[in-house]
Amino acid sequence: MRGSAPTEERTRIALAIHGTVQGVGFRPFAWSLANRLALGGSIRNATDAVLVEIEGEGRAVEAFVEAVRREAPPLACIERIERTAIAPRNERTFVIAPSAADARTPAPVAPDTATCDECVRELFDPRDRRYGHPFVNCTSCGPRFTIVEAMPYDRAATTMAAFPMCAKCRVEYEDPKNRRFHAQPIACNDCGPKLAFEPGRGGSDPISAAAAAIAEGKIVALKGLGGYHLACDATNGSAVEALRERKRRDAKPFAVMVADIDEAEQLGHVSDVERTLLLSAARPIVLVRRRSRVVVDAVAPGLDRIGLFLPYTPVHHLLLSACARPLVTTSANVTEEPIAFEDDDARTRLRGIADAFVVHDRVIRTRCDDSIAHEVDGAPAVLRRSRGHAPRSLPLPHALAKPTLALGGQLKAVFAVGRSSTAVLGHHIGDLDDFKAYRSYVDALAHLRDLLGATPERVVCDQHPDYATTRLAHELAASGMELACVQHHEAHVAACLAGAGIDRHAVGVAFDGAGFGTDGAVWGGEFFTGTLGTLRRAAHLRYVPLPGGDGAARDPWRMAVAHLVDAGVDPTEVLDVDPSEIALVSQVAKRLSPPTSSVGRLFDAVAAILGIRTRSHHEAHAAMELQAAAERATDDARYPYDVAGGGDLLELDARPLIRAIVEDRSGPEIAARRFHATLAHATADLCAHLAGDARDVALSGGVFANALFARLTCDAVRARGLSPWLCRSIPTNDGGLAFGQLAVVGARDGGV
Ligand code: ZN
Ligand code: ZN
Ligand code: FE
């Protein structure tokens, strides 16, 4: 027995483990690991870290550290481990010690996590005491962020405080060997929250009642983890049409929940990357190419992609299994309002939309929408980082000199709280033009600041004077906070660079719908060179007038008029629009419209020129249909384009491209494809021209949510010997701005 030999060499080390390591089953994991390796020592929660001391044979100590890195429980997210050697004290047992007295600001709470396989097995096992329990969870799964009221994360500080544990749950909760040891939301059929169906149907249980209503073509409001969903039969055309009409949502695609990965593969062509995304603990909505027409076209009109996701709560598992069909499962709201999450508010707002409700008596503390992800250029990328991700932190390349709050933009609003070299991103809030959304943003901000125990000394915002977040930043500045501004597209590029961990000279591309430019123009087709914090605008798409300002996004034909007139083509010969309307727009364009370099609006213009869409129902509508058309073609011929200008600001001239599209008679799908290919190569050419010694090209902004355009651009950049980078862990759209703002300010601070 080596362990008991008197001459044994003992090692003792102290570890400070940082990241999401509290309330995720880390202590029992460490306890059983230490026992397995015959190590002595202790573990305790402390301020923003878990502290471990272990002692034993050298190799066993190393094995412990290695296992912490590799085998930590699924919800744990270890950011860094600090290690110090200390003198052995001949300690032979390992104990879970009480929290350190200084645990005032514990590590951040974990995100909500999809029901794990073991809990799903219990849910459907008639012999298990949690059979059919709609709230089954354990240390590895279940609600976290959406139920926490305050830190430290304990049951008493969650909305589960209203449900006293029964004796059986208490035993499991207190047993370090049980997989529900300190699972704060632990519950069972005896002591947990209860599900109810409204209006009540005598006799049947809520899940069967809901399944019956859905089978009849009804719309059911379903209380979930971070808010209410509206659910209906995705194979029933009139049910889906009714939902569209009642939600006043003309064209935006609905997400569809399917029972399991096999059903997802029947409905869509699911790649390995998409499969991994679908099954990931965050369970995002994943955009995949459609395979079958089982789901009616009204779910995603005009598009070849469909958003699928898998059940992530026990209620979803029970309902999908009872319905035995794919369900449209969309946020319960009207048009752009935030998702409903409070019971009374939901009943009021969803009256007239939902025919029935499935509710429960556990309070949702924080609204949190579903996340969205897709595969782009062979790897995953998140398009909306919310439920399952928030409030997980991300590293910043440069430490912030002081605690900083970044407010993001106006659309797809997300804020971020930065401390030292860590950024904690809030959940997706939506479009702040809506007052309810703005109120929700302010509430969420206060809540996250409380949870993190953060007192920011500085606030960062966009430069747009009319963003609600800019006004909020000025209010905070008036009450004493330091104020910093970051240009919109610089923040996009910085988010991409920082997300990829690139902190050297690079080329940055930001293509989006609109952002405030420093020269009074509406920017959206921008090229930068430099490093984080010193990015300089080096080129842009040639300016055309933006007729009707922000309203131009609703009327792609107006942008087509602007681009056609600029290219010397008579718009009345091309567009199927009343010539008097065209005349009016060209008049206004000449005199009153601000100039724009928006690539998002160039996509709109091309969609209108090709007759694919002249009027849009939402901002990306025309561009999404242009992408869908291009994906149906395979031609990669290119149109001409020019690079003009000199000195230190170049211009990408799209006029030859516009003229060629007008003359191309090969049909809208081939022309759409050629447009994508041309713009991708034009972008790569300009990057190669600007690169100098730089090898990295950051591609960012909402336009790169177009997976076809993103892939073609990456290929074109690689063909020129450069390395393309896309936004992966943070959204490429305005949902990534707050992170980019922190990255820029950190770099300006000059910290490492
Ligand atoms: Zn579980
Ligand atoms: Zn119980
Ligand atoms: Fe943007």
SS3 405: strand
* Residue 219 phi, psi dihedral angles, 5° rounding: -105, 125
What CATH number is given for 501-727 in this structure? Answer: 3.30.420.40
Supply the pLDDT for residue 8: 65
Residues 614, 286 contacting (CB under 8 angstroms): no
**The model's pTM:** 0.91
CA of 492 to the centre of ligand 3 (A): 7
Closest CA to 740 of 442, 389, 402, 406: 406
Supply the pLDDT for residue 202: 64
CATH of 108-192, one of 3.40.50.1820, 3.90.870.30, 3.40.50.150, 3.30.200.20: 3.90.870.30
CA of 250 to the centre of ligand 3 (A): 24
CA of 363 to the centre of ligand 3 (A): 34
SS3 675: helix
Closest CA to 225 of 149, 135, 296: 135
CA of 411 to the centre of ligand 3 (A): 8
Per run of 10 residues, the mean pLDDT along the chain (length 752 residues) is 57 90 84 93 81 94 94 86 90 82 57 96 98 96 92 86 96 91 94 92 85 97 94 97 89 95 97 97 96 92 94 98 97 81 89 94 94 98 96 92 96 93 92 90 90 89 96 95 98 98 97 96 97 97 89 88 96 94 87 92 97 91 96 92 89 97 95 98 97 97 98 98 98 98 96 63
- The per-type count for the chain, helices as H runs and strands as E runs, is 22, 31
CATH class of 195-360: alpha beta
Residues 511, 703 contacting (CB under 8 angstroms): yes
CA distance 648 to 653: 16
Supply the pLDDT for residue 751: 65
Which of the ligands is closest to the CA of residue 188? 2
SS3 24: coil
CA distance 222 to 218: 12
CA distance 197 to 359: 6
CA of 180 to the centre of ligand 2 (A): 11
Element (H, E) at 134: none
In one letter, which amino acid is 626? L
Which of the ligands is closest to the CA of residue 740? 3
Which of the ligands is closest to the CA of residue 703? 3
CA of 183 to the centre of ligand 2 (A): 12
- Dihedral sign computed on CA atoms, order 106, 107, 109, 113: negative
Supply the pLDDT for residue 647: 80
Residues 719, 684 contacting (CB under 8 angstroms): yes
Which of the ligands is closest to the CA of residue 142? 1
Q: Which residues are paired to 20 by β-bridges?
A: 77
CATH class of 10-96: alpha beta
CA of 102 to the centre of ligand 3 (A): 41
Supply the pLDDT for residue 3: 45
Supply the pLDDT for residue 141: 94
CA distance 525 to 649: 13
Supply the pLDDT for residue 613: 95
Domain ranges of the chain: 10-96, 108-192, 195-360, 391-487, 501-727
CA of 54 to the centre of ligand 1 (A): 29
CA of 186 to the centre of ligand 2 (A): 7
CATH class of 391-487: alpha beta
CA distance 61 to 637: 61
Supply the pLDDT for residue 450: 85
CA of 231 to the centre of ligand 2 (A): 29
Residues 537, 526 contacting (CB under 8 angstroms): yes
CA of 173 to the centre of ligand 1 (A): 13
Angle 196-143-334 (CA atoms, 0-180°, nearest 5)? 60
Closest CA to 590 of 562, 549, 623: 562
CA of 117 to the centre of ligand 2 (A): 20
CA distance 451 to 106: 9
- Dihedral sign computed on CA atoms, order 171, 174, 177, 179: positive
CA of 360 to the centre of ligand 2 (A): 16
Tokens of 67: 């296992």
Residues 616, 553 contacting (CB under 8 angstroms): yes
Which of the ligands is closest to the CA of residue 143? 1
Supply the pLDDT for residue 107: 56
Helices (H), 692-722: 707-719
Supply the pLDDT for residue 485: 97
Q: Which residues are paired to 598 by β-bridges?
A: none
Q: Answer yes or no: same fold for 108-192 and 195-360.
A: yes
Residues 133, 192 contacting (CB under 8 angstroms): yes
SS3 70: helix
CA dihedral 131, 137, 142, 146 (to 10 degrees): 90
Contacts with 578 (C-beta within 8 Å, 6 or more apart), sequence order = none
